[in-house]
Amino acid sequence: MSFTVIGAPLSPFVRKVHITMQLKNIEFTMEPVSPFALPEGYEKINPVKRIPVLKHDDTYICDSAVICQYLEDLCPEPQLIPEAPLAKARVAWFEKLADTELAPAIAATAFRHRVIYRSMGKPFDEAEIDAVIEEKAPPLYDYFNEAIGSGDFLVGEQFSLADIAVITQFINASLGGELVDDQRWPNLGRYVAMHFASETFAPSIAGAQKMVGKMLAAAS
């Protein structure tokens, strides 16, 4: 059984898959592919031309949510998606919010522009990015802040794919200089800081910071 993760290591969606595989002790190799310079014929692997894609032996599986569900089915330990219908639905909902709402609000803005575009020498409008974050992030932060309350996880008392999906987007936001205001969102600020410092995420963050540092230094 061989696994290859196709994608860019700095992508939050790729990181989500990496963390899931590391927690489940699934060995994989990485095939680096930039979403900005996809290899010819990539649309045959993924017609919407996005990363990540997981290659399991000879079969390609697209989309981080689908990949993570597949990994859970294949290797149920440690459990990252609860079986109880309500908890499972809550995890799916937070993952969807992270992938489709949080990502465009804080990662495709702060990280993509201030790190990727800057490293490529591509111009961007800082005020435009600030405006998108300002409009889209606070309602999501309010909602997460409420859901977390005084706990450590988004769903129940258990670490889950919901936490991986949300934290990986916050990692990219932080790489782009966008941090949670913990005066305004104390539960969310505490939650993000705690997971950033955890052994699950800290090594991944340190590696990403190093990579970003090199990219920005080479561009300046």
- Where along the sequence are the contacts to ligand GSH (CB under 6 A)? 11-13, 35, 49-52, 63-65, 99
Closest to ligand GSH by CB, 99 vs 163, is: 99
Nearest-approach distance from CB 17 to ligand GSH, in angstroms? 8
The Cα 1–Cα 58 span in angstroms is 10
The Cα 47–Cα 76 span in angstroms is 29
Closest to ligand GSH by CB, 35 vs 156, is: 35
CA angle 205–211–215, rounded 5-degree value: 140
Nearest-approach distance from CB 33 to ligand GSH, in angstroms? 9
Closest to ligand GSH by CB, 104 vs 156, is: 104
Nearest-approach distance from CB 73 to ligand GSH, in angstroms? 17
**Starting from the edge strand earliest in sequence, which strands make up the sheet with 3-7, in order?**
29-32, 3-7, 53-56, 59-62
CB 141 within 8 A of CB 185: yes
**How do beta strands 29-32 and 53-56 pair?**
unpaired
Nearest-approach distance from CB 150 to ligand GSH, in angstroms? 30
Nearest-approach distance from CB 12 to ligand GSH, in angstroms? 6
Nearest-approach distance from CB 190 to ligand GSH, in angstroms? 27
The Cα 18–Cα 203 span in angstroms is 12
Sign, Cα dihedral of 98, 171, 107, 178 = positive
Closest to ligand GSH by CB, 20 vs 64, is: 64
> Torsion angle of alpha carbons 78, 83, 86, 88, nearest 10°?
50
The Cα 18–Cα 23 span in angstroms is 9
Closest to ligand GSH by CB, 11 vs 187, is: 11
